[in-house]
Amino acid sequence: MVSQVSAQSIWPNWQVVATSYPDSTYEAGVSGREDMTVCYVYKDTNYVYFRVERRESGAGFEIVVTIFLDVDQSQATGKTGTDNSLSLHDLGAEYKILLDITFAINLYIYRWDGSAWLVLSTAGSHAEDDNYNANIAIPLTTLANPSFPIDILFVCHYYTDYNPDTGHITYPSGPGASTPVPVGGQIKDVSTIELIASYLQSIAPYLLTFAIVAVIVAGILTIKRSSKRQITK
């Protein structure tokens, strides 16, 4: 089933409100038109949005993107292993989004039923060929209103490129997430409190050294004051 959908008139300001997930580039065997540079994810009250940017794009550079979604963050449920030769890494994907911008904008949405992919309606969905980069908007109702965070894997093919190269990324709940920080195979949102805690942890050895030096200096000053009082007597 092929469904061609129209572009949405208003997309998120990707650089301002969306979470960005940079990808490594110039991998062996990956051409410039499949080589993802960065992917974006954003959620509002009605939609979840995706954007894929490539190292080379332009007229005549078709793009085929698959996005696997593990909405319950459990590999025990959903599709695992491989899917049409594409690796799902460590996901148990309940949903698959396929955007094929070759001769037209064609969007497919699938749900895993435990043994096969079932085709879902693309009603209310939007897709856009943005200079042969890809913008996608999927109604949350199409995905059964999942709880966030969810785990995601982007794949750009035919000469396959994955973002991330191993593991998956995790998109946190709520719009306007802060800049992600790589953690193993995942990229997670980091709050201000977590950043402060991480900073304090990084300087902890220096704080301990400073405390020891301060105690030694205080001891020396105390001895000197005591010696001066004895000389005065």
Query: What CA–CA distance (Å, rounded) separates 71 from 77?
Result: 10
Report which of 197, 162, 221 is spatially closest to residue 24, judged by C-alpha positions: 162
Query: What CA–CA distance (Å, rounded) separates 7 from 111?
Result: 23
Percent of the chain with pLDDT over 90: 52
Mean pLDDT of 189-196: 46
**Residue pair 19/177 in contact by the 8 Å Cβ criterion:** yes
Mean pLDDT of the chain: 80
Structural domain harbouring 219: 191-233
Q: Is the pLDDT of residue 6 over 60?
A: no
Residues 162 and 91 in one domain: yes
Query: What CA–CA distance (Å, rounded) separates 28 from 14?
Result: 29
User: At 83, which CATH number?
Assistant: 2.60.40
Residues 181 and 224 in one domain: no
Q: Is the pLDDT of residue 21 over 50?
A: yes
**Residue pair 125/112 in contact by the 8 Å Cβ criterion:** no
**Residue pair 125/142 in contact by the 8 Å Cβ criterion:** yes
Residues 20 and 42 in one domain: yes
Q: Is the pLDDT of residue 14 over 90?
A: yes
Give the contacts of 128 (CB within 8 A, at least 6 positions apart).
7, 8, 11, 105, 134, 135, 136
Coil/strand/helix, residue 206: helix
**pTM of this structure:** 0.71
For residue range 95-129, what is the model confidence (pLDDT) as tens digits? 999 999 888 889 999 999 999 999 999 999 999 88
Coil/strand/helix, residue 146: coil
**Domain total of the chain:** 2
Residues 211 and 176 in one domain: no
Q: Is the pLDDT of residue 20 over 50?
A: yes
**Residue pair 190/180 in contact by the 8 Å Cβ criterion:** yes
**pLDDT value, residue 172:** 79
